[in-house]
Amino acid sequence: MSELNPEEKSKTTRSKLVAKNFDFDFFTSVYQTKSGNTYYFLYDQGYRAIENDGFILVKKDN
């Protein structure tokens, strides 16, 4: 996922994640924001589904 998110935050599509063999069923933690958005993290990289089969990718601050 870090290839698709070289910065702290970016957008991508489900098809790009699937092309990289991303497994949506595997994650190491879940974070829910105060506004109710749920991010799924794989170590320090996280994602959240948005409209039109899109995803927001974020990097967790260490």
pLDDT 10s digits, 28-54? 999 999 999 999 999 999 999 999 999
Tell whether 21 is covered by a domain: yes
pLDDT at residue number 32: 96
What band does 4 get if pLDDT is binned at 50, 70 and 90?
A: confident
Q: How far is it, in rounded angstroms, from Cα 55 to Cα 14?
A: 7
What band does 1 get if pLDDT is binned at 50, 70 and 90?
A: confident
Tell whether 3 is covered by a domain: no
Tell whether 2 is covered by a domain: no
pLDDT at residue number 62: 64
Provide φ and ψ at 14, rounded to 5°: -60, -40
What band does 26 get if pLDDT is binned at 50, 70 and 90?
A: very high
Which residues have a Cβ under 8 Å from the Cβ of 2 and sit 6 or more positions away? Answer: 45, 59
28 neighbors 43 (Cβ within 8 angstroms)? yes
User: Range of 49's domain?
Assistant: 9-59
Contacts 24+ apart (CB under 8 A), 34-40: none
The structure's pTM equals: 0.86
Domains in the chain, number: 1
